[in-house]
Structure formats: structure tokens, C-alpha cells
Amino acid sequence: MRTARVAGAVLVIVAMALAVGHAQSRGMGRVTGTVVDESGAPIADVAIKTTTSAGTVLECKSEADGKWTLGGIGRGEWILSFTKAGFSTKRIKAIVEREIERAVPIKITLAKGA
């Protein structure tokens, strides 16, 4: 009888932990790519952001060669925002199907603008 209670308590704790993890939508996945301007030149210091279902902002910046990687993402659909002064903001939908697979790079082109 005692073993059944302990097993039941462990199951409740595990279920609660899984529910919290899912609600945060954080994970081991990542989205990666390159940001370029309309001529194909890389753009450095572009802010790439998304928000989890729990309201946590995940962000990174593109490097000098325009490459970026946004990690800590769980499975599901994500809206990514790309912003830099002098360029129009761009939003895209990225889908993470499996967290452990290598991410397919996404090429983002930003237009000159506000």
C-alpha cells in the first residue's frame, strides 16, 4: 500500500513538471539563418526576437556576416521579428518540428525603410 502511494506521488510530481515545461514552450530546439539587405549584403546587429507562451522573450543578434541562431525553443510555431534601425521590420512564422534535429537555415531579406 505504501509503495502505491509513493508511486502515485511521483506520478503527480512528474505530471506537474511536464505541464510547467510545456507551458513555458522552452526547449532544446533552435532556429538559425542569415539576414541580408536587398543587394544580398549581410546585415550585422539585427535584433531577432520571439516570445514564449509564458511571456518570456527569447532574442539574439545577427553577427557581422549576417548569421544568427536563436536557441532555447520548443516544438511548435514561432513568430520571429527582425528589426534594425534604417530597415523595415520583418516578421515570419518558423515551425520547429523536432528539437534535436539540425535547424535548416532561413535567409531573411530586409528592405531599407523606417
Write down how long the chain is: 114
Show the cell assigned to 8.
502515485
Question: Which residues in the chain belong to E strands, given as ranges?
Answer: 26-37, 47-51, 57-61, 67-73, 76-83, 90-96, 106-110
Facing residues of 83 across strands?
Answer: 47
pLDDT at 102 over 50: yes
Q: What is the pTM of this model?
A: 0.74
Least confident of 19-28, 54-63, 64-73: 19-28
- Per-residue pLDDT at 20: 37
Q: What is the mean pLDDT of residues 28-33?
A: 88
In whole angstroms, give the CA distance from residue 41 to residue 76: 31
Of the pLDDT bands very low, low, confident and very high (cuts 50, 70, 90), residue 59 is very high
